[in-house]
Structure 1
């Protein structure tokens, strides 16, 4: 009777994966860029490990998104403030032009709401220039 040869079991060698790589792999899977099976083959990581990372890192991503949402809100508010300043400046220029030339181009070419705002600015400008002329 032959005795079977002892075959040595191959011990799994585990690799350390950086936190950034974990996040990028999970992001690829969550965004639908690659499947979990393909990621498992591509990076040599078991599907169970990928599922574990997904579960654990979902909380981390939620916290980082909350912070980024606050940052995004702040940036958007700053942008709104900047655009309102630009809009007011442009309206002042249009009102000055209409006051000097006597043409009311805003009524012809701009939406009604903007035309009304410019009309108010033009009237205020004429009142101010009238009071300046009266004091001279």
Structure 2
């Protein structure tokens, strides 16, 4: 039973350098570990890892010079092409 002196405290985490962030993102994207496993292994909240993944995908899109809509359009065209080949 909790007393008035027991306060809920947010867990504190250490700052993570860019190299580690990129390593975590790479391991997740290549399927070596899941976000949950990475969270436990590197002592980083899952929400933070999700944020890194979002930021990384945005950076990749910017470096490719392709917007999300352009990417979706390109993928739909590829699907249509593959469906046409299969018939």
Q: TM-score range by the shorter chain?
A: 0.5 to 0.7
Superposed displacement of residue 42, structure 1: 0.6
RMSD: 1.7
2:21 corresponds in structure 1 to: 22
1:48 corresponds in structure 2 to: 47
Structure 2: tracts of 5 or more residues without a match? 65-87
1:37 corresponds in structure 2 to: 36
Superposed displacement of residue 13, structure 1: 1.2
Q: Distance in 1 between matches of 2:12 and 2:47?
A: 16
Q: Deviations over 1:24-49 (max 9, x none)?
A: 10000000011111111111111111
Structure 1: tracts of 5 or more residues without a match? 67-136
Q: What are the within-5 Å matches in structure 2 for residues 82-97 of structure 1?
A: none
Q: Distance in 2 between matches of 1:32 and 1:5?
A: 44
Superposed displacement of residue 17, structure 1: 0.5
Q: What are the within-5 Å matches in structure 2 for residues 89-108 of structure 1?
A: none
> How many equivalent pairs are there?
61
Superposed displacement of residue 9, structure 1: 2.1
**Larger Rg computed on CA atoms:** 1
